[in-house]
Chain A
């Protein structure tokens, strides 16, 4: 069980690094999109407020929750490989 614990801990650390990087990247892309959207709209209202409201909407969105797939996909893949290697 020690080997399994080691795999899970190392896997969790690596995937957390990926998850955090991906979250930050995705948020920065969304911010850039909102800024250019504001510019296209002709610059009505406060830019800061527009971008902040857009990002708050993004925080609650499904797209942001999809990044959790970083944990889920490798775990499912592991289960699948275990099944295919040993019980197929």
Chain B
């Protein structure tokens, strides 16, 4: 029974961690090598694609999506998609996809004369199911070694932990004061009834 319990607990927390890792913003230092757009037909991976640009017809099955090709500061390549999140999840409220594409196209550079940028994004690059992180914003930086402190994530995670803890403590106190005594009294009366029954039949 303990194994089952721990399996569920571990699964639950893995899911929570994966959800946060996917949804919270992350910053990559990269050099933009090119930008392009390509038609996509989201299928099994449609969960990891956003919807059509806000205001346009969202019912057609396929559409064009902007992409940003980069080389990261650790010398690996990374491709980002650039899509509106609109009014949906995750709540970045991004409507300026085309503007962002214009900015990234402007910041393109070569290996000889690199222009380093910080790309804020959420999501994962998983080659196996063709999903791409969604770029949120881009800003030029001095070089590939700048130190980035994720203040926003520190704040959000602290807030989440504090809220969860506050609710948890109050729930536990409530259970100890109200529910446990009630259950105990139910258990006591069940015991009483049992011994009364037993007494009835032992005669």
Residues of A within 8 A of B (CB): 3-4, 6-7, 25, 78, 81-82, 85-87
Contact = CB atoms under 8 A, between A and B. Distances in A.
B94 to A, nearest CB: 5
Interface string B171-192: 0000000000000000000000
27 contacts: A3-B51, A3-B54, A3-B86, A3-B88, A4-B87, A6-B87, A7-B87, A7-B88, A25-B170, A78-B91, A78-B93, A81-B91, A81-B92, A81-B93, A82-B93, A82-B95, A85-B92, A85-B93, A85-B95, A85-B96, A85-B136, A85-B137, A86-B93, A86-B94, A86-B95, A86-B96, A87-B96
A4 B51 CA distance: 13
Q: Chain B interface secondary structure, helix, strand, loop or mixed?
A: loop
A53 to B, nearest CB: 25
Contacts of B93: 78, 81-82, 85-86
A11 to B, nearest CB: 10
Given A4-B87, A7-B88, A86-B95, 4 more contacts: A3-B54, A3-B86, A81-B91, A82-B93
Interface residues of B, number: 15
Interface string B85-121: 0111001111110010000000000000000000000
A54 B87 CA distance: 43
A82 B85 CA distance: 11
Contacts of A81: 91-93
A3 B52 CA distance: 11
Nearest to B96: A86
A61 B10 CA distance: 45
A20 to B, nearest CB: 15
A75 B94 CA distance: 16
A81 B54 CA distance: 16
Contacts of A85: 92-96, 136-137
B155 to A, nearest CB: 12
Interface in B28-81: 51, 54
Contacts of B92: 81, 85
